[in-house]
Chains A and B, each alone.
Chain A
């Protein structure tokens, strides 16, 4: 099983572990991530303005590249996944954006949203299967109480992302069970970490990430996992909590006996 893979800027700089563990775990589980050649920034934030087109083009280029190879496109960073999936939805449903994007890009063949966009977690759930993952685990985290932190971008908007119920998700909890640990359910798991607010209004970001970590701690979490580099930053730098926060790919690699 080979997928086109879009790592994104942060996975080449601050979040190298998220990327590295994902690749070695993929090989161990029998699928390959083929990095798209010459990929560019996903756009960073999905533009809400209807007439904003330029910042969507790099996502379309990545999507078209996967289409050329006839592969699904796998992402890992929550923000990249959110932008690429939403842009792909535009390319499926908004004829005006389709026309403009194709006019700009002048691709050999016009792109109209044909590529399937998958988050790495969806590959684990839908292509590998959590049961098979469980069978592949060599070092199960038996008894470990792990809290899943979704943040906002991974699941929302629910109609477009189609990953899980945004208000009552379970994909990460099922992942935690698959690696032998015990998921901690706490209500802040799908709330905002503070996001980019940390740049202009630090106290707000601190409040938000503290609320998340405190709530996880209250319910007995020994570890918090996330898929998002920005969440990782806020939860470790802004929350004041001492509970370890790790990328889900890191404990995946550990569970598979790769570290």
Chain B
């Protein structure tokens, strides 16, 4: 029997107020193998760790049990502690008496009894712990950034700046993302294109950066330091290496009625197109779904006109396979569809627009060339009603429960713009709350109210009724004066909630990265590790992690880059030694384990088990590639003959814990 030491932490009052820690230490101290047991207010503090180190030496401990918080929090801390005292770090067990005990119970007697049981289970397990030694795996010095909006661009530039190779995968034909569609950026009102396009050009010119535009990630295998990624490069029917972006094909293409994505369908583009003038790469795309050549076989005009000979109707999708040390997710967002909010009559009138559509109307390269006009009749609107929180902070089940965070500021920007450029316009903003924390943000909003005379009304619009004469009858409640308002408006602008891009969910599955119920990626720790996914080697940049504006996105993008740089700077990573292994004498080679392994870590080999007298006996047995195995344990459960086991979590160890709990 091993000599065990037990260390019970108070965690200030977090544990001690619900669990009688002295009683736990005393009771566990009487367990047969325990030779030392104590308690301390903060076991993770330097003084607390020193108690453990000294006890290991003084009592010649061969196993350590710390009763404290979740192992997710401090297992690594205490492993280092016992290692410093000369013990193998895997001879430590943490009994979680905080998250799984003190925080969820009220009755002190019950909680204390449970803490003792949890401690006993850990003692039983540590008796069977084997000393494990972590192996090492090399780091591929190249990063992948998925998504080429401002988040992905900034992350890629920062990583490249540190001297590492970066690839950007962007599903659209150009990088730039949502920021390309925006006119001005709050609170300083600098032109969005003017601050973004130089960064796009930097990406294109940086020799460390490769841009895979019009491409999507198709499969991801491997693990931190050594991911293997398949990227599908969609056929654009234009040879990227030959196209000069002259625009002849996009002008002469006879198909002119394809809804233009860049202007959110408010005008049309040709079937051969470049999304916008500053696109990177500045290369045309042929939209096969609308192109006459693909639909009827007749046309081929662009091929005849292209002086560079870049048009290639036979181009196929290609797959690029590349290895990466780190992956950054920067998949961004989209405004929600406002279909479910037809009380605002979005589907009934062209003059009810979303805020992003309004942004396009204001921008010089938009459908109205920057003139404030109604989409129905081209007239300048005299009365505009802005509705905030369309689908945000919505508990009715139609929308999102969260605050989309950016809408209060851009609505103030839009409202001020209307009053500044067209002072005879009457502007109303309906809000639930105005939320403008941030540097120079509240001042910005106050300016809209105080200097620009925008009518901010606390309340919600209940109904927008389009009249046959084209006006929009807006019925709303003013909650402060407690009255119903009826406004005859020319235009209604809906601040639609934002949601993660639809590509995020399948990508999360490929990366085995976790998401919340709203499909935002979860961070490893909400406060302390905000740019890392819980999956090692996967990092988060921008709105894919939660709603944020451009300044915050850029800050987070830089933070994600610095984490990637920290990883790529290492030559080797130590592996998790808690991996599966197969007992060859029990394995019957049935392949069940290989079929359930999500990492492809299991292979088979024919091994000679012949003994000298019995003649030949060759059997097919499973072998685990320890560098690839992530220790998930799926194979150990699936194995019908009990040959698979997980180091650090063997069946024997788990059963010992269960026995200790049930005793």
Do A and B come together as binding partners? yes
Whether B341 contacts A187 by the Cβ 8 Å rule is no
A219: interface (CB < 8 Å) = yes
A259: Cβ under 8 A from any B Cβ: no
A242 is an interface residue with CB less than 8 A from chain B: no
**Known contacts A187-B464, A188-B465, A218-B468, A167 near B397 by CB under 8 Å:** no
User: Chain B contacts of A219 at CB under 8 A?
Assistant: 468
Q: Are A167 and B468 in contact (CB under 8 A)?
A: no
Is B347 among interface residues, defined by CB-CB distance under 8 A?
Answer: yes
**A165 at the binding interface (Cβ < 8 Å):** yes
In the bound complex, CA of A21 to CA of B340 (Å): 34
Residue of B nearest to A186 (CB): B465
Structural contact, A168 and B347, CB atoms closer than 8 A: yes
User: Does A159 lie at the interface of the complex (its beta carbon under 8 Å from any beta carbon of B)?
Assistant: yes
Interface size of A by Cβ–Cβ distance < 8 Å? 13
Of A167, A168, A187, A215, chain B has the most CB atoms within 10 Å of the CB of A187
B467 at the interface (CB under 8 A from A): yes
Inter-subunit contact B465/A167 (CB<8 Å):
no
**Is A187 a contact of B397 with CB atoms below 8 Å?**
no
A218's partner among B340, B348, B467 (CB-CB below 8 A) is B467
Distance in angstroms from A167 CB to nearest chain B CB is: 4
| Bound Cα distance from A218 to B473, whole angstroms | 13
- Looking at the complex, which one of B339, B348, B463, B464 makes contact with A185 (CB distance below 8 Å)? B348
The minimal Cβ–Cβ distance linking A214 to chain B, given in whole angstroms, is 9
Q: Inside 8 A of B466's CB, which chain A residues have their CB?
A: 187
- Provide the B443-483 mask, 1 if CB < 8 A to any CB of A, else 0: 00000000000000000000111111000000000000000
Contact status of A159 and B397, CB under 8 A, knowing A167-B340, A187-B465, A188-B465: yes
Note all chain B residues with C-beta closer than 8 A to A167: 340-343
| Total contacts A-B at CB 8 Å | 28
Query: Per a CB cutoff under 8 Å, which of B339, B463, B464 touches A168?
Result: B339
Interface status of B345 (Cβ within 8 A of chain A): yes
A159→B398 CA distance, assembly (Å): 10
The answer to whether the Cβ of A191 comes within 8 Å of any Cβ in the partner chain is yes
How far is it, in angstroms, between the C-alpha of A167 and the C-alpha of B340 when the chains are bound?
A: 7
B396 partner residues in chain A, CB cutoff 8 A: 159
Q: Which residues of A contact B463 (CB under 8 A)?
A: 187, 191
State which residues 168-191 of A face B: CB under 8 Å. 168, 185-188, 191
- How many angstroms from the CA of A185 to the CA of B468 in the assembled complex? 11
Residues 315-352 of B, flagged 1 when their CB comes within 8 A of A and 0 if not, give 00000000000000000000000011111010110000
Q: How far does the alpha carbon of A218 sit from the alpha carbon of B466 in the complex, in Å?
A: 10
CB distance from A189 to the nearest CB of B (A): 10
In the bound assembly, the distance between CA atoms of A165 and B465 in angstroms comes to: 17
CA distance A211 to B473 in the complex (A): 11
Cβ–Cβ < 8 Å partners of A191 in chain B = 463
Q: In the complex, A185→B466 CA distance in Å?
A: 11
Chain A proximity of B390: nearest CB distance (Å): 12
In the complex, which residues of chain A have a beta carbon less than 8 angstroms from the beta carbon of B347? 168
A186 vs B464: C-alpha distance when bound (angstroms): 11
CB-based contact A215/B341 at 8 Å:
no
User: Which residue from chain B places its CB closest to the CB of A191 in the assembled complex?
Assistant: B463
Residues on the A chain within 8 Å of B348, using CB: 185, 187
A28→B342 CA distance, assembly (Å): 36
Q: A159-B397, A165-B340 are in contact. Are A187 and B468 (CB under 8 A)?
A: no
Alpha-carbon separation in the docked complex, A187 to B340 (Å):
14
Chain B residues 387 to 411 lying within 8 A of chain A, measured CB to CB, are 396-397
CA distance A188 to B463 in the complex (A): 9
8 Å CB contact of B465 from A159, A168, A215: A215
What is the minimal beta-carbon distance from A67 to any residue of chain B, in angstroms? 28
Taking the nearest CB of chain B, how far is it from the CB of A159, in angstroms? 6
Name the CB-closest residue of A to B464. Answer: A187
Give every chain A residue within 8 A of B345 (Cβ-Cβ).
Answer: 187
Given A165, A211, A215, which contacts B342 in the complex, CB threshold below 8 Å?
A: A165
Quick check: A168 and B468 within 8 Å, CB to CB?
A: no
B361 to chain A, nearest CB (A): 23
Using Cβ atoms and an 8 Å threshold, which residues of chain A touch B343?
167
Cβ-closest chain B residue relative to A187? B465
Residues of B423-460 whose CB lies within 8 A of A: none
A214 and chain B: residue at smallest CB distance: B467
Report the minimum CB–CB distance from A163 to chain B (whole Å). 15
8 Å CB interface, A146-180 against B: 159, 165, 167-168
Q: Which residues of B contact A165 (CB under 8 A)?
A: 340, 342
Residues on A with beta carbons closer than 8 Å to the beta carbon of B342: 165, 167-168
1/0 contact string of B340-384 vs chain A (CB within 8 Å): 111101011000000000000000000000000000000000000
Min CB–CB distance A172 → chain B (angstroms): 15
A257 → B minimal CB distance (Å) = 35
Q: How far is the CB of B347 from chain A (nearest CB, A)?
A: 7
Which residue of chain A lies nearest to B466 when distances are taken between CB atoms in the complex? A187
Cβ of B345 to closest chain A Cβ, rounded Å: 5
Residues in B with CB closer than 8 Å to A211 are 465
How far apart are B318's CB and chain A's nearest CB, in angstroms? 43
Which residue of chain B has the shortest Cβ distance to A219 in the bound complex?
B468
Interface string of A203-220 (1 = CB under 8 A from B): 000000001000100110
Instruction: Give Cα A77 to B466, complex, Å.
Output: 29
Tell me, rounded to whole Å, the shortest Cβ–Cβ distance linking A250 to chain B: 27
Q: A179 to chain B: closest CB distance in Å?
A: 24
28 contacts between A and B (CB under 8 A): A159-B396, A159-B397, A165-B340, A165-B342, A167-B340, A167-B341, A167-B342, A167-B343, A168-B339, A168-B340, A168-B342, A168-B347, A185-B348, A186-B465, A187-B345, A187-B348, A187-B463, A187-B464, A187-B465, A187-B466, A188-B465, A191-B463, A211-B465, A215-B465, A215-B467, A218-B467, A218-B468, A219-B468
Contacts A165-B340, A188-B465 known; list 15 others, CB within 8 Å: A159-B396, A159-B397, A167-B340, A167-B341, A168-B339, A168-B340, A185-B348, A187-B345, A187-B463, A187-B465, A187-B466, A211-B465, A215-B465, A218-B467, A219-B468
Measured CB to CB, the residues of A under 8 A from B are 159, 165, 167-168, 185-188, 191, 211, 215, 218-219
Which A-B residue pairs are the 5 nearest by beta carbons? A168-B342, A218-B468, A187-B465, A167-B342, A167-B343
